[in-house]
Amino acid sequence: MAVVVFGLGNASCNSSSKDVAPSGLTYSAEIAVYTVGTAIAPNTPTSSGGNTASYSVAPPLPAGLDLNSSTGIISGTPSAAAVTTNYAVTATNSGGSAKVTLTITVNDTAPSNLTYAANPAVYTLKTPIQPNKPSNSGGKVVTYTGTVSAGLTLDPTTGVVSGTPTTVTGPVKFTVIAINSGGSTTASLTITVNDLAPTNLNYAASAAVYGRDPHRRQHPNQ
């Protein structure tokens, strides 16, 4: 009787292996200061270990900046000022992840070409002035500083000059400084304060009758 022998083939076990996790994640600029409206130089990551499958960041980057989830490159043009903040960027693959902290500040565009509506300005003593308003062609001003004529005030938030002059002065130049996170600019404001004009001029005797001096020697013909 023939014996049939069935052989069992070698069983192969397929097991999935994980990637080597990313490590040593760094960026070309880990402390960065940008300016509103100015495109940034692309901020590029490097890492050792396994290839990164995706990148993420928390909290969200400042407005106008973007993290490419595939390459990790940060690029864009900031659209609003942002205080100094730490951002955690994470590089991930199936084997794990690596993190790095970026510190980013976005400064506003510096103020420029500061001017005043009335310059030079001529006022009258003890007479309230028309508020004198500033303007500039750069970024929004955060603080104004400087001095003005006695009795007048410079609003530190709006830069408006207002009040009532209390001292007569000839033309005097005052320097006003406009400041924000991006820098500062100045304006030279010239102010003159004139005295009050005379009014209601009168004499104690508005209709006066004078007599001849009795001691005056008279001329023969008089």
Question: What dotted CATH number matches 115-194?
Answer: 2.60.40.10
| pLDDT tens by residue, 136-187 | 999 999 999 999 999 999 999 999 999 999 999 999 999 999 999 999 999 9
| pLDDT tens by residue, 74-83 | 999 999 999 9
Same fold, 22-107 and 115-194: yes
Alpha-carbon distances, residue 76 vs 39, 61, 65, 126, 140 (angstroms): 6, 10, 5, 54, 21
Structural domain boundaries of the chain?
22-107, 115-194
CATH of 22-107, one of 2.60.40.10, 2.40.50.140, 2.40.37.20, 1.10.1740.10: 2.60.40.10
Q: Are 47 and 89 in contact (CB under 8 A)?
A: no
